[in-house]
Amino acid sequence: MPPPGGRLGPGYLTDEEKKNRPKVTKALLKRIFSYMKPYWKQFGLVLLAILFSSVMTLMPSVLTGKIIDEGLIARSMSSLVKYIILSFVVTFAANLIGILESYLNTWIAQHITFDMRNTMYKHLQKMSQRFFTTNNQGDIITRMTSDISGVQQIITSTLTSIISNSITLVVALVVMFRENWILALIGVIIVPLFTIPTRSAGKTRWSITKESQACSDEINGILNETMSVSGQLLVKLFGMEEKEYSRYEAVNKKMINLNIRESMAGRWFRMALNTFTNIGPMLIYLVGGIIMMKYDSTVTVGQITVLVALLGKMYGPVNQLLNIQVDWIRSMAMFTRIFEYYDMPVEIENSPDAIIPDHADGEVEFRHVRFYYEPDREILKDISFELEKGKCIAIVGPSGSGKSTLINLIPRMYDAIDGEVLFDGVNVKDLDLAFLRENIGIVSQETYLFNGTIRDNLLYAKPDATDEELINACKQANIYEFIENQETGLDTVVGNRGLKLSGGEKQRISIARILLKDPALMIFDEATSALDSISEQKIQDAIEPLIESRTSILIAHRLSTILAADEILVVKDGEIVERGTHSDLIDDGGVYAQLYETQFSKAAVKGEEKFEYTEGEDME
């Protein structure tokens, strides 16, 4: 993989980069160009600025010759002062233009990255749950941040470096050859010699940098895992502090060694460069001196000085231009990777002629629905059921039987592989996505709250809700008492992912949030995690009136919740094995009855009215 953005390496490609050399097609270039096109005026200005500043930075070198020949050697005070002032003015102007150039450059680069980041964010928002469950969160963030930042560097450095270095080089060569062709020729032969140590030192340095990047990623990984709320909890509960510390210390140690090596590689690199840059001028002085003293007395000291000065200005550009091809390939790879993300198909998309009904009843029907995450493991097999307006279905079944998967198909978090999911009689794939999701409210097992206040979290469902509405919803969700007892009331901060609240409190806040949303279909994925009986009762009291008044689906674990439903679906291994009311199912004496006998009565003895399955438990 090419190095992450913002850290373009020196002038050679790694084996992997060579292997994955991007195909630079006309279409790719056109696509890259399309991001630059809106800023063509600014690009034009940059070009002009580069042109001026590159020529002007060379001027003082040329003027040095005049200062020596016409000022110092000719002993003319006026010429001396004139050229010195001119030199000063030109340098000043060149730097001034340089500032303008870098401002424009940064401006363009920032705007292009801004556009690209926004496009990426918007695109990723459309990606399905599958994308987010399959892709590592870190990878997504890396593409969003470093990869796109890499683009910034391409524009501010690669692109301008090609232009400015070429100009500097051409102008320097023309002036040198005009001054003295023999000395210029020597210069041309010498310059490539300087680039050899630069390149080989750069190679070593780069391989160390890569190692330290990997090391730094590892450190970040450890920090991410162990310095998070849940991670720390796990570390503490399993008493792994020492082990985690030594893991961290070991990587940290590796990192400092790499840093020391990297810094030393830099030293050698500078030493080599210094030696060579010192030898170059000496060679010109020597050959220039020989020519001047033995063969051609018209050659002046000033000319020799100009050549030495211009030679000095050529190292940088030659070196950079030699690296350009690599930068170019790397840039193309970076763009290719960004575009790869852009081109990822949107799995769940609004159909072009999506239907937007004027109201929703929340009716649901599954017709022979099949679903899998991975083709080799079917999760739902031929699921069919119907939920009428105002009715309530309870889904029960062992953990992993596919209950959450089933309800995720209704708001199209995933699409059924086969069969149809209908909402109010219309296939969900034909309905407007926004309409569909607006009319479905899910209180999931894992309640997610953003880090903010209770109010912020509630307003997420209805941004324009009044305080009265918020309080009403909280009262109905049985959480108002808790909020009232907080010093800051609705403005109480819930903490990172709501972790400052208990599981039951979070769930009741999420019920209040759903109440504000007021959906036609209400789905409640009852938490399997143990809540104390008071919390459970409070949640129960909150959801019961909800079920009464609207179409709802409950993934139920508590008997009282199950009893509140009009129909019970027993799901096992992705199939509905039984259906009916509680009394029907008990009478049938099947799986449900058995479950009721073994699980519920056991729990009832312990005083927990909980319909709980233990993992791997067989229901037959």
Q: Which residues bind ligand ATP (CB under 6 A)?
A: 133, 373, 379, 397, 399-405, 528
Min. distance of Cβ 138 from ligand ATP in angstroms?
Answer: 18
Compare residues 496 and 529 and give the one whose CB is closer to ligand ATP: 529
Cα dihedral: 87, 90, 95, 97 (round 10): 180
Ramachandran area for residue 578 (φ above 0: left; ψ -120 to 50: alpha; else beta): beta
d(CA 196, CA 137): 41
d(CA 264, CA 271): 11
Spatial CB neighbours of 587, under 8 Å, sequence gap ≥ 6: 593
Q: Cα 479 vs. chain centroid, distance in angstroms?
A: 36
Min. distance of Cβ 126 from ligand ATP in angstroms?
Answer: 18
Compare residues 35 and 611 and give the one whose CB is closer to ligand ATP: 611
**Contact 364/553 with Cβ under 8 angstroms?**
yes
d(CA 371, CA 420): 11
Compare residues 403 and 558 and give the one whose CB is closer to ligand ATP: 403
Min. distance of Cβ 576 from ligand ATP in angstroms?
Answer: 13
Nearest one of 556, 537, 547, 518 to 407, comparing CA atoms: 556
Min. distance of Cβ 609 from ligand ATP in angstroms?
Answer: 18
Compare residues 76 and 528 and give the one whose CB is closer to ligand ATP: 528
Min. distance of Cβ 133 from ligand ATP in angstroms?
Answer: 4
3-state secondary structure of 323: helix
**Alpha-carbon Rg for the chain in angstroms:** 36
In angstroms, the Cα distances linking 45 to 39, 90, 197, 346, 386 are 10, 20, 36, 39, 66
Compare residues 202 and 397 and give the one whose CB is closer to ligand ATP: 397
3-state secondary structure of 596: helix
Compare residues 424 and 526 and give the one whose CB is closer to ligand ATP: 526
Tokens describing residue 465:
């809700």
State the sign of the Cα–Cα–Cα–Cα dihedral 429, 433, 438, 444.
Answer: positive
Min. distance of Cβ 49 from ligand ATP in angstroms?
Answer: 52
Min. distance of Cβ 613 from ligand ATP in angstroms?
Answer: 8
Helices (H), 291-400: 301-342
Min. distance of Cβ 399 from ligand ATP in angstroms?
Answer: 3
Compare residues 344 and 426 and give the one whose CB is closer to ligand ATP: 344
Tokens describing residue 587:
């009478």
Min. distance of Cβ 141 from ligand ATP in angstroms?
Answer: 20
State the sign of the Cα–Cα–Cα–Cα dihedral 572, 577, 579, 581.
Answer: negative
The amino acid sitting at 75 is: R
Q: What is the 3-state secondary structure (H, E, C) of 23-56?
A: CCCHHHHHHHHHHHHHHHHHHHHHHHHHHHHHHH
Compare residues 107 and 373 and give the one whose CB is closer to ligand ATP: 373
Compare residues 161 and 401 and give the one whose CB is closer to ligand ATP: 401
Min. distance of Cβ 401 from ligand ATP in angstroms?
Answer: 4
Compare residues 187 and 402 and give the one whose CB is closer to ligand ATP: 402
Tokens 């763009």 — which residue? 335
